[in-house]
Structure 1
Amino acid sequence: MQIEVLVDVKTTLGEGPLWDAQQERLYWIDSFDGRVFRATADGREIRCWDVPQKIGSMAIRKDGRGAVVSLARGFHFLDFQTGDVALIADPEPDKPNNRLNDGKVDRRGRFFAGSMDTMEEGPNGALYRLDPDLTVTRIDDGIIVSNGPCWSPDGRTFYFNDTWSGEIWAYDYDQDRGAVSNRRSFAKVDRSRGGAADGSTVDAEGFLWNALVYDGRLVRYAPDGRVDRIIEMPVKKVTSVMFGGPDLDILYVTSMAKPPLPRFPGDGVLRGSLFAIHGLGIKGVPEPRFGG
């Protein structure tokens, strides 16, 4: 196994690595600075788009010419050709202290993204589903910080976490209706070193990978929730993970250069880097595109 710094752009809050298998390009975001990045699998041909608000997550649209993005004040479209950003819907116009955060697309092209309390204190957030016809549905609520949405390879289990709950949840997922049920604890998070569950992905074997932010570790959980493997990273503030590369066998890891609140730890010179881990002997699954 080899961990390398793929791109060092010192993202204030790097998040949401996304490999688009059709374009063979890697996307990631700077959540606090409102930027979307794109590069080749080996970190070349870097392109950047600015968005007008903090950004929580993104997904490539079905035509590949743009993305759906969860900005602080709602779901938007980003046009890659012009850089224009257009509002789709704001699901929380009455909650100015919230912002939208992490999100991903299910096998039927629906975009799921949750909101969070910006002070990371109150259960004021919720989980939403944006359908290809651009309707928005609330899926769950009572969440402090929405993070880690992803699905099992067969699409029948949905994983999600409230970062400060101390656990990762699993739901039964109805692919026809885009509905969740039977929320239960999938895994308890080891918070003994001050870390918390952040972004997740699922590999081709059905194991879930989670970034333990502020702890500097990546944890691979088996489908039954047991800890299968732990990888120590060179920075504490790792934020999210995604398999990519032409063979889907590179694990990309984002990190933050500056903690959002003063109570969180700092890092060394590699803070804010985008990392690539080679030689794991594990492959991911292609990430779907948004259907709208």
Structure 2
Amino acid sequence: MIKIEQIGFLRNQLGEGPLWDDELQCFFWIDSLKGEIWRLDKEDEIRRYITSEMIGSLAIIDDDMAIVALRTGLYLFSFSTQSLSKIWDLKNDQVDLRLNDGKTDRQGNFIVGSMCVKDRRQPKAALYRINSELRVEILEEDVIVTNGPCFSPNGSTFYFNDGRRRILAYDYDPKGPLKNKRIFFDGSKYGTSSDGATVASDGNIWTALTGSHEIGCISPSGDLITRIPMPVKLPSSVMFGGTGLNELFVTSISNSGNRVSKEHLAGSLFKITNINAQGIAEQRFRLSV
């Protein structure tokens, strides 16, 4: 039987960016609007790290360092000193943009996208790739908000939600442009919309169905095959973790600015077990400079 349990007694404002680091055997997530990084060790110890701005996502580099996507750009962040070093500036002259969701590809490049802060209906954001030499390139434009970037088990297919209640799929080359854009999953057909996502070892995509208060499992052919009701209205993202990568961690929202939930458990971190699925260890960001 599927089991859902609350972890700790936290109430994040905008819980997002779940990330399991297989080398450290610990789980990271963020409270985006507060600029906080949270860490859960295998001994169930919870720590908090504070950045200087809103945070959209992060990727681990080594045991002390991460690349973090903050409102104004990309930074290197030290967990031991909680210090930041800016490595790339998000040009923000014409529209009110900030960086949002991100994930490493199977080669250790960091894929991250932006979003409009004030007018979230405008397709003025973009999707970027940052390589080991900190070179940044644009992969896609005409994006409303970047959510749920993730990769097929062999890394040849890239998925992400561009803010139009759908998940797009592309053929992916870690050194080339995105190709063969297609609609992989249309949430409107199921009366829902997806948010953060991750891919299991069998190729199924697990995602937070914020539009229907559920966690969903989508087959590689784009069919919604499993729906798990959540005890909160606004689950936000998912990530496999645990020693066997068979536990599904779920972040949630209490107040994102445009979505508010006053439920007792809103903003909590959850863990789902007994779902007969296993994740794939996420790559660390491979920094070579």
Q: What's the TM-score, normalizing by structure 2?
A: 0.95
For the aligned residues, what is the CA RMSD?
Answer: 1.4
| Structure 1 stretches lacking a partner, 5+ long | none
1:1-292 to 2 correspondences below 5 Å: 1-41=2-42, 44-61=44-61, 63-95=62-94, 97-119=96-118, 120-163=120-163, 165-175=164-174, 177-190=175-188, 195-261=192-258, 264-292=259-287
Report the secondary structure of 1:153's partner residue: coil
Note closer, same or farther for the CA distance 1:192–1:109 as it changes in structure 2 (3 Å cut): closer
1:178 positional shift: 4.7
C-alpha contact (below 8 Å) 2:200/2:278 kept by paired residues: yes
Q: Distance in 1 between matches of 2:179 and 2:89?
A: 25
Q: Distance in 1 between matches of 2:101 and 2:190?
A: 24
Report the secondary structure of 2:196's partner residue: strand
Q: Distance in 1 between matches of 2:55 and 2:77?
A: 11
Q: Distance in 1 between matches of 2:95 and 2:50?
A: 22
Note closer, same or farther for the CA distance 1:157–1:124 as it changes in structure 2 (3 Å cut): same
Note closer, same or farther for the CA distance 1:28–1:178 as it changes in structure 2 (3 Å cut): farther
| Structure 2 stretches lacking a partner, 5+ long | none
Deviations 1:41-80 (A, max 9, x none): 47x211111000000000000x321110100000111101
Q: What is the one-letter code of the residue matched to 1:3?
A: I
Q: What is the one-letter code of the residue matched to 1:57?
A: S
Q: What is the one-letter code of the residue matched to 1:12?
A: Q
1:38 positional shift: 0.4
1:281 positional shift: 1.4
**Equivalent pairs: percent with the same residue?**
40
Report the secondary structure of 1:190's partner residue: helix
C-alpha contact (below 8 Å) 1:235/1:267 kept by paired residues: no
The ranges of structure 1 where at least 4 consecutive aligned residues each deviate by more than 3 angstroms after the TM superposition are: 190-193
Report the secondary structure of 1:37's partner residue: strand
Q: Distance in 1 between matches of 2:94 and 2:240?
A: 34
Q: Distance in 1 between matches of 2:138 and 2:228?
A: 35
Q: Distance in 2 between matches of 1:9 and 1:67?
A: 23
Q: What is the one-letter code of the residue matched to 1:148?
A: G
Q: What's the TM-score, normalizing by structure 1?
A: 0.94
1:266 positional shift: 2.0
1:114 positional shift: 0.3
Deviations 1:194-214 (A, max 9, x none): x43210000010000111224
Report the secondary structure of 1:281's partner residue: coil
Note closer, same or farther for the CA distance 1:265–1:47 as it changes in structure 2 (3 Å cut): closer
Residues matched between the structures, number? 285
Note closer, same or farther for the CA distance 1:95–1:2 as it changes in structure 2 (3 Å cut): farther
Deviations 1:80-114 (A, max 9, x none): 11100111101323245110000000111100000
Report the secondary structure of 2:69's partner residue: strand
